[in-house]
Amino acid sequence: MARKKIALIGAGNIGGTLAHLAAQKELGDVVLFDIAEGLPQGKALDLSQCGPVQGFDAKVTGTNDYKDIEGADVIIVTAGVARKPGMSRDDLLGINLKVMKSVGEGIKTYAPNAFVICITNPLDAMVWALREFSGLPHSKVVGMAGVLDSARFSTFLAWEFGVSVRDVTSFVLGGHGDTMVPVVEYSTVKGIPVPDLIKMGKTTQERIDAIVKRTAGGGGEVVSLLKTGSAFYAPAASAISMAESYLGDQKRILPCAAYLEGQYGVDGLYVGVPVMIGKDGVEQIIEIELDEKAKAGLQVSIDAVKELLVACKGIDGDLA
């Protein structure tokens, strides 16, 4: 059987980490693409030389030519620029929208059967635009944010309760950014809901509120420490878990930015919700019952995504 092919569009911090993880786990042969000449080739050469030490046979190559992503089974997109001082949110939107256009066209031409995971920010708008430009089915294009956001929430909860991260399940809904909605009621330690743990005196509502706030600002906390970039290890690990669920038809339930057609009262937008990922991509969107507070939080998040899409349509006439 032919080996799977994983194409990574963007060979920066996340792209390089994705390539390392995908090769280490032997998810398939890895193609790193970037517009910067030498960068994907250099990282690919370096990573290839990890093979003998780490014992993997996955082939890692670097390219500046979309032709080399031909027939990819999974594509993970991190191409774009980060916001720099003096750049407005709309400037960033305009630049990354152009990047999504070229990436979408590359995917449409060379890998129309791939499962595509978008990571480029502003996530909820970029995944929507990438889907529009690529023309792939909505079920085959998803955004990575919820797995990372809930990993952050779970990390802080595990630290709070002094338990293994493996026993913590947490839940985050909504857009990626300040408007995300960590849902405390559906977050548990080995099945015990966090509100019950508060009643049991294991923590307090105030401490959980602070953790929720820290989770929502989780990306910014890393940026303020790194100063020269944003998080990349956990974002890469999160996208790899989504790719593994697709490649292995694992049918994992993962929070992702998925295209909604009526679910949660939303039509035609990508919003972070729990989905099932299997061999057909997003196979199910799971609708959970939300209390009034979570519903209101989700609405704020949805409104923020809507605003971004209006801005995208204003920038690129093809999206109107």
Interface contacts to ligand A3D, rule CB under 6 A? 9-15, 34-36, 39, 78-82, 99, 102, 119-121, 123, 144-145, 148, 176, 219, 229-232, 235
Query: Quick one: which of 148, 139, 147, 142 has its CA closest to 130?
Result: 142
- Tell me whether residue 78 or residue 188 sits nearer to ligand A3D (CB atom): 78
CB atoms within 10 A of CB 105: 14
226 Cβ contact partners less than 8 Å away, ≥ 6 residues apart: none
Query: In angstroms, how far is the first alpha carbon of the chain from the final one?
Result: 43
Q: What are phi and psi of 249, to 5 degrees?
A: 45, 45
Task: At 16, list the tokens.
Answer: 């390089």
Shortest distance (Å) from residue 40 CB to ligand A3D: 8
Query: Quick one: which of 316, 304, 314, 320 has its CA closest to 100?
Result: 316
- The answer to whether the annotation marks 14 as part of a ligand binding site is yes
Shortest distance (Å) from residue 285 CB to ligand A3D: 19
- Tell me whether residue 121 or residue 245 sits nearer to ligand A3D (CB atom): 121
- The answer to whether the annotation marks 64 as part of a ligand binding site is no
Q: What is the DSSP letter of 58?
A: -
- Tell me whether residue 189 or residue 232 sits nearer to ligand A3D (CB atom): 232
- Tell me whether residue 10 or residue 197 sits nearer to ligand A3D (CB atom): 10
* The pairing of beta strand 5-9 with beta strand 29-33: parallel
Shortest distance (Å) from residue 145 CB to ligand A3D: 4
Specify whether 176 is catalytic. yes
Shortest distance (Å) from residue 24 CB to ligand A3D: 18
Give the count of alpha carbons within 13 A of 60, CB side only: 31
Query: Quick one: which of 183, 182, 179 has its CA closest to 215?
Result: 182
- The answer to whether the annotation marks 11 as part of a ligand binding site is yes
Catalytic pick from 149, 176, 232, 242? 176
- The answer to whether the annotation marks 119 as part of a ligand binding site is yes
- Tell me whether residue 15 or residue 281 sits nearer to ligand A3D (CB atom): 15
Shortest distance (Å) from residue 15 CB to ligand A3D: 6
Give the count of alpha carbons within 13 A of 225, CB side only: 6
Shortest distance (Å) from residue 18 CB to ligand A3D: 9
User: 32 with 15: CB under 8 angstroms?
Assistant: yes
- The answer to whether the annotation marks 22 as part of a ligand binding site is no
Sign of the dihedral defined by the CA atoms of residues 134, 136, 138, 144, in that order:
negative
- The answer to whether the annotation marks 80 as part of a ligand binding site is no
* The pairing of beta strand 60-63 with beta strand 168-169: unpaired
DSSP reduced 3-state for 106: helix
Cα separation, 260 vs 268, in Å, equals 6
- The answer to whether the annotation marks 10 as part of a ligand binding site is yes
- Tell me whether residue 60 or residue 197 sits nearer to ligand A3D (CB atom): 60
Catalytic residue set: 176
Q: Which residues are annotated as a binding site for NAD(+)?
A: 10-15, 34, 96, 119-121
Q: Which residues are annotated as a binding site?
A: 10-15, 34, 83, 89, 96, 119-121, 152
Q: Which residues are annotated as a binding site for substrate?
A: 83, 89, 121, 152
